[in-house]
Amino acid sequence: MKRILWLPLVLAAVMFGCKHDIPQIPIDPNAPISEVDDCDPNTIYFQQQVLPIFQSSCAMPGCHDQATAEDGIVLDSYSSIMSSGEVVPGDLSDGDVYENITDSDPDDIMPPPPNDPLTSEQIQLIAGWIEQGAQNNSCESLSCDTINVAFSTHIEPFFVNSCEGCHSGPNPNAGLTLVTYDQIAGIALDGSLWNSVNGTGGFTLMPYNGTPLSDCKLVMLEKWIQNGAPND
Ligand code: HEC
């Protein structure tokens, strides 16, 4: 008799106790990009800070690009990421993306070995963006300086987020590794960096299958190359 009485109570607690206090933020995967001019230092901007990581470290050829769609999941754009169900706005524990990029089990972690795991900075950007509601937001001038371009503050972080996912590890795309200063300066000085980000001179447009670089990023790279690609 007692058992029969408390069982429905436990079930009710399980059903109504947990999920219902999580705020559900409605998200339209086709939401237009909301662009601002003044970048807020406390806001994480999907288009500049998060999408390049997804495109370079999840949507590489053979993984979550359109052509492969590993496990039926494509992670190459805002709409594909939101439609995958792997990101739940405002809730890190519900979508699988955060769990996968922080997993300690080599069988489960994304990107899988032999790829390098995401850096803690990249993980924090993705986590912060999810917590802030996983919006399709953009601030063009963010992390783009066309006046005081420096390798350490502008060029290297750009390569880490936009190029390294495909151009690192034991099997880099096109056999090209872009991790150290020397490797990056190498393609800057032989012309292949400029050609690849413009899709000129017979080069495939980079980032491969990604969003072409903004005018601001192109000017930034051009300045650095014209300055002789200094390690500053
Ligand atoms: C999603 C994966 C991916 C990303 C991100 C990516 N690349 Fe590539 N990259 C490739 C692939 C694949 C090729 C080979 C393309 C081909 O042969 O058509 C390539 C080729 C290249 C080449 C030509 C190499 C050669 O010897 O012909 C250069 C240069 C290059 N990438 C630079 C970059 C730069 C710079 C970035 C960042 C802005 C970048 N890539 C981002 C996948 C990627």
Is 13 a residue whose pLDDT tops 80?
no
Q: Cis ω on the peptide bond leading into residue 52 (within 30° of 0)?
A: no
Q: Specify the higher pLDDT residue, 66 or 143.
A: 66
Burial of 161 (0-12, 13-18, 19+ CB in 10 A): buried
Separation of first and last alpha carbons in the chain: 77
pLDDT band at residue 27, thresholds of 50, 70 and 90? confident
Cis peptide before 111 (omega within 30 of 0): yes
Q: How far is the CA of 137 from the centre of ligand 1 (A)?
A: 26
Distance 49 CA to ligand 1 centre (A): 19
pLDDT in tens, 125-152: 999 999 999 999 999 888 789 999 999 9
Per-residue tokens: 22:
């999580």
Tell me which residues have their CB closer than 6 angstroms to ligand 1: 55-56, 59-61, 162-163, 165-167, 173-174, 176, 187, 192-193, 196-197, 203-204, 206-210
The Cβ-side half-sphere exposure at 123, using a 13 Å CA radius, reads 15
C-alpha 184 to ligand 1 mean position (Å)? 12
